[in-house]
Structure 1
């Protein structure tokens, strides 16, 4: 199975739904794809992932 941007977005939604606050999931997805491609978030450094999420917090 090929990992797609939709798979990445789904993972981001799952991760951010389990955390406090709200964020722009599309912007997070775009930034990760620009920096790393469409990758499983488990392959990213945890601190880097949450720093990207924090940059796109909306509430």
Structure 2
């Protein structure tokens, strides 16, 4: 099964929904795709890097 940007968006949305704050999920997904060279599962991204990206896109 191919992992798509939609799959990534769903994973990012679940992660951010479970944390405090509001986040620009499309911007997070775009940055992950840019940094990783494509859509990859959140679990394949180093935890600190993932939350650094998320933090950059806080909207509140």
Give me the TM-score of the superposition, normalised by structure 2: 0.97
CA offsets, 1:6-30, max 9 Å, x none? 0000000000000000010000000
Moved over 4 A (4+): none
Shift in Å, 1:33: 0.3
Alignment of 1:1-59 (within 5 A): 1-36=1-36, 37-59=38-60
The alpha carbon displacement at 1:55 in A equals 0.2
Deviations 1:2-59 (A, max 9, x none): 0000000000000000000001000000000011110000000000000000000001
Number of residues of Structure 1 aligned to a counterpart in Structure 2: 59
| TM, length-normalised to structure 1 | 0.98
Mark the runs of 5 or more structure 2 residues left unpaired by the alignment.
Answer: none
